[in-house]
Amino acid sequence: MAKKPWGGRFEGETEKQVEQFSQSLDFDRRLYKQDIAGSQAHARMLARQGIITEAEADRIVRALEEIRREIEAGEFIYAPAMEDIHMAIEARLISKIGDAGRKLHTARSRNDQVALDVRLYLAEAVETLVARLTELRRAGARLARKHLGVIMPGYTHLQRAQPVLFAHHLLAYDEMWRRDIMRLQESLARIKVSPLGAAALAGTTFPIDPKFTAEQLDFPEIFRNSLDAVSDRDFAVEFLAHAALIMAHLSRLSEELIIWSSSEFGFVVIPDGYATGSSIMPQKRNPDVPELIRGKCGRVAGSLMSLLMTLKGLPLTYNRDLQEDKEPLFDAADTVTASVELMAGLLEALEVRPEKMAATLKGGFLTATDMADYLVTKGVPFRTAHEQVGAAVRYAEGQGKELGELSLEEVQKFAPTAAPDLFEWLTIEASVARRKSPGGTAPERVVEALARVEKELEISG
Ligand code: ARG
């Protein structure tokens, strides 16, 4: 039976079931790189402060390097008795270099150690996610550029409302992704704060230099309060909140892609690589990827709730409950990163059917607002114009005609100020072209918006 690194005051052995219940090695082993980097920085700091010798620090750093290679080569033995990755690595270090290894944990606790590891992990996860989101923005921008002139119905209440450019619709998602990236980048200021030096909870009696430790790890800040340093997981909650919101954005787009790819809409075709068939219905082509992204949104939101519940009511400072931070965090980071990547791939390959979109622009009185706006230009108050157009729509509907198909005389029965130039206002193209207000769907506005996005993303249009 391997002796526990904390085994000094214990006589009896840990129950097997307790060992299994409490171990985190199964999932925190993926923190090995962070754990080793943190320990190396800590050892260097200890030597610099004269707490251990430079020779000891060198041996520690080198042995940890070897352990890293062992882990990466699959040669490392993970003994469940070791509880977690921190103890597993430390035990291996001691077995390699003896007493020098036994000095590594001076002025440190697993409490500040694990907090550092999670922060290092998250800093990297955030950078990766930002890179994936940037790729997603690029994919969206390229799709918008490819179909720049395409008009589709814009919806409110999922009822056809007013015509918009398909590119304009896509660029709405770009705004969400841009904010997602901003949030992630801003959160790095709170993630890259080194807690190392808080020790168990109260600080340490040794003359440490936490700033030096942090600098080696490329963390610009260090903790300000040792009690907070070991018990704070706010940065992880923040990440989960950001991840959940990103998933919500992806889920909204997924829902649209699912609807659009139905035969009822037919606006898009989900490319072969992103669709699957049915085992019984040969004709089926199912949008599984967007469905799964939509489904995984719940899972990531659940991870956010999970960590919030873990933190709720926890007394200061470290409590073992905090070990429960890792699985939701890792799962959410993996899920959101994969979902963003898949959505980018899907958009790159998406087949768009402008003719299907065009067909739905007919018959829905999508330019009724334009007719009201036109009447306003003739001096009619907007509310009155709205009523007049409403009556004209009801009449046209009864005749099985579009507004633009009515004669001027017919129109004038409802809107006496209408003149022949009305009809220039009633085409779909004119409706879109006239919406030149800032951030509107007029082609000139969308071209500007797309150019701005392409510039931000450093892609050429
Ligand atoms: N595996 C633990 C965790 O993930 C590491 C910290 C353990 N600290 C302790 N005092 N038992 O939280």
- What's the pLDDT at 1? 46
Q: Which atom of ligand 1 is nearest to the CA of 326?
A: 4
Residue ranges in the chain modelled with pLDDT below 50: 1
Q: Which residue minimizes the CA distance to atom 7 of ligand 1?
A: 110
Q: Reduced to 3 states, what is the DSSP secondary structure of residue 347?
A: helix
210-238 per-residue burial string, b: 16 or more CB within 10 A, e: under 16: bebbbebbebeebbeebeebbbbbebbbb
Complete domains list, the chain, with CATH: 15-106 (1.10.275.10), 111-359 (1.20.200.10), 368-457 (1.10.40.30)
Instruction: Find all residues with CB under 8 Å of 215, minimum gap 6, and list them.
Output: none
- What's the pLDDT at 2? 58
How close is the Cα of 110 to the center of ligand 1, in Å?
6
Question: Which among 323, 324, 327, 329 is the best mutation to test ligand 1's pocket, defined by most ligand atoms within 8 Å of the CB?
Answer: 323
- What's the pLDDT at 282? 78
On whether the CB atoms of residues 422 and 371 are closer than 8 A, the answer is yes
Q: Which residue minimizes the CA distance to atom 12 of ligand 1?
A: 323
Which tens digits make up the pLDDT trace of 263-285? 999 999 999 899 888 787 878 78
On whether the CB atoms of residues 34 and 116 are closer than 8 A, the answer is yes
- What's the pLDDT at 435? 97
Q: Which atom of ligand 1 is nearest to the CA of 84?
A: 1
Task: Read off the tokens for 421.
Answer: 């130039």
Q: Which atom of ligand 1 is nearest to the CA of 200?
A: 10
How close is the Cα of 22 to the center of ligand 1, in Å?
10
On whether the CB atoms of residues 51 and 42 are closer than 8 A, the answer is no
**Residue 276, preceding bond cis, omega within 30 degrees?**
no
Q: Which residue minimizes the CA distance to atom 3 of ligand 1?
A: 323
Structure letter (DSSP) for residue 286 = B
How close is the Cα of 232 to the center of ligand 1, in Å?
13
For strand 268-269 and strand 221-222, is the pairing parallel, antiparallel, or unpaired? Answer: unpaired
- What's the pLDDT at 363? 85
For strand 221-222 and strand 193-194, is the pairing parallel, antiparallel, or unpaired? Answer: parallel
How close is the Cα of 118 to the center of ligand 1, in Å?
12
Question: Which among 111, 112, 325 is the best mutation to test ligand 1's pocket, defined by most ligand atoms within 8 Å of the CB?
Answer: 111
Of the candidates 92, 102, 8, 126, the one whose C-alpha atom is nearest the C-alpha of residue 52 is 102
Ligand 1 pocket, CB under 6 A: 24, 28, 84, 86, 110-111, 114, 318, 320, 322-323
On whether the CB atoms of residues 265 and 343 are closer than 8 A, the answer is no
On whether the CB atoms of residues 351 and 268 are closer than 8 A, the answer is yes
Looking up tokens 């909204």, which residue turns up? Answer: 252
Instruction: Find all residues with CB under 8 Å of 371, minimum gap 6, and list them.
Output: 385, 389, 392, 403, 415, 422, 425, 426
- What's the pLDDT at 6? 79
Q: Which atom of ligand 1 is nearest to the CA of 85?
A: 1
Q: What is the DSSP string of 177-194?
A: HHHHHHHHHHHHHHHSEE
How close is the Cα of 189 to the center of ligand 1, in Å?
24
How close is the Cα of 188 to the center of ligand 1, in Å?
24
- What's the pLDDT at 139? 98
Q: Which residue minimizes the CA distance to atom 11 of ligand 1?
A: 320
Of the candidates 179, 320, 309, 176, the one whose C-alpha atom is nearest the C-alpha of residue 237 is 309
What is the model's pTM?
0.95
Q: What is the DSSP string of 59-117?
A: HHHHHHHHHHHHHHTT-----GGG-SHHHHHHHHHHHHHTHHHHTTTTT--HHHHHHHH
- What's the pLDDT at 3? 67
Supply the residues annotated as catalytic.
Answer: 157, 278
How close is the Cα of 156 to the center of ligand 1, in Å?
50
Q: Which residue minimizes the CA distance to atom 4 of ligand 1?
A: 323
